[in-house]
Copies of this chain bind each other. A is one copy, B any other.
Amino acid sequence: MDMRKGAPAVVLLSGGLDSTTVLAIAAREAGQRVHALSFAYGQRHALELRYAARQAARFEVAAHEVVELGALGRLVAGATSLVADSPLAVPAAGARDPDSAIPTTYVPGRNTVFLSYALAWAEALGARDIWVGVNAVDYSGYPDCRPEFIASFERTARLATRMGVEAEDDAGVAIHAPLIELRKHEIIARGLALGVDYGETTSCYDPTPAGEDGLALACGRCESCALRRAGFADAGVDDPTRYVPGA
On A, residues with C-beta under 8 Å from B are 65, 67-68, 70-72, 75-80, 100, 102, 106-113, 115-117, 119-121, 123-124, 143-144, 146, 148-149, 152-153, 155-157, 159-162, 164-166
Closest to A172 in B: B143
Closest to A111 in B: B160
Q: How near does chain B come to A95, taking the closest CB pair, in angstroms?
A: 17
With the chains together, A32 CA to B143 CA distance in Å?
27
Closest to A73 in B: B120
With the chains together, A221 CA to B157 CA distance in Å?
31
Is there contact, CB below 8 Å, between A102 and B162? yes
Taking CB atoms, residues of chain B closer than 8 Å to A143 are: 159-162, 164-165
Q: How near does chain B come to A98, taking the closest CB pair, in angstroms?
A: 13
Is there contact, CB below 8 Å, between A120 and B156? no
Closest to A141 in B: B165
Known: A102-B165, A165-B143. A112 touches B156 (CB 8 A): yes
The contact sample of 13 A-B pairs, CB cut-off 8 A, is A68-B68, A76-B121, A102-B162, A106-B162, A109-B160, A112-B116, A113-B116, A115-B116, A144-B160, A148-B159, A152-B155, A153-B156, A153-B160
Taking CB atoms, residues of chain B closer than 8 Å to A108 are: 119-121, 123-124, 161-162
Is there contact, CB below 8 Å, between A149 and B160? yes
Is there contact, CB below 8 Å, between A124 and B75? yes
Closest to A72 in B: B120
Closest to A142 in B: B162
